[in-house]
Amino acid sequence: MSKINSAAVQVQAEIMSNKKVGAYHHIVFHVGSAAAAARPGNFVAIAVGGENSPMILRRAFAIYRASDRGNGSGLIELVIAPFGGGSRWLTEQGVGKFVDMIAPLGTAFGIPKEPVRALLVGGGYGSAPLFGLSEILKARGCRVDMVLGASSSNKIYAPLEGKRSVSSLTLTTDDGSVGIHGRVSDVLPGIIDENKIDIVYSCGPMAMLQAVTEIADSFGIMNQAAVEESMACGIGVCMTCVIPVKGDDGVIRMLRSCIDGPVMDGSQVIWDSSRTIPEGTWGA
């Protein structure tokens, strides 16, 4: 029986802080013991809109940081982009408000047992889980390099924090407003080659994850990718977040991002399926 989500609990999470940071909101929740099992790559599912809201589906958000302070006083931090109705509602909630949260959910990034040279690649607010991951990797003695990219400077989350938490930080923007004018894929080959990277960890838009995977594959290294696929239930029931993934046996299966992911081996994901079921998929 799968151990995924075995530690998940439903809690009334109290908002302890809600601060606007650039284009995003950094929100801290008191979640009691739920923080103890949270790892980088996990996510939470939050009921949005209030008791009488027509928004009946929960919204999934990647965990930025989790801290277990003991005695049931754990915290979970999220970075939220107020794009849709649900996320806008959440960013409008003030300190002292409570939200219905299920946490932690999904698979986490795999942490090497021995020191390695790791490259962390993030796009926009999708980079949020990488900051906590970098701290764990550095504590294991790993060299950690980071690349953050976005369309413009205000959509790169916490670049100063990123600089403090890694060995080197490279920024890219589509409009050239900060860092290198271009995309993360433009700088990755040089960084991988120069720093002799052993493994890549990535979070961000699906197109970016595909590009990162193709580059990692060309160097013969793994890309652990946290996929960004829309999730309706977050617990593996509704089957709306399925993506085609080729297993070690060579068989393509439609797997649930919320249960089998969000962290997956990028080389096994069929990135160019364009939301269709590839020919030869098991059961199709």
β pairing state of 117-123 and 143-150:
parallel
What domain count does the chain have? 2
Give me the residue label for tokens 């739920």.
34
Residue 243: count other Cβ atoms within 10 Å of its Cβ: 20
CA dist., res. 269 & res. 257, Å (int): 11
Does 49 share its domain with 125? no
Instruction: Single out the residue in 48, 83, 105 at which a domain terminates.
Output: 105
pLDDT surpassing 80 at residue 57:
yes
CA dist., res. 6 & res. 114, Å (int): 27
Does 24 share its domain with 162? no
pLDDT surpassing 70 at residue 256:
yes
Using an 8 Å Cβ cutoff, are 269 and 284 in contact?
no
Tokens of 206: 């699906």
On the 0-12 / 13-18 / 19+ scale of CB atoms within 10 A, 194 is exposed
Using an 8 Å Cβ cutoff, are 63 and 130 in contact?
no
Does 68 share its domain with 208? no
pLDDT of residue 1: 39
Domain hosting 244: range is 117-273
pLDDT surpassing 80 at residue 162:
no
pLDDT top residue among 149 and 229:
149
Q: Give the domain CATH number at 262.
A: 3.40.50.80
pTM of the model as a whole: 0.92
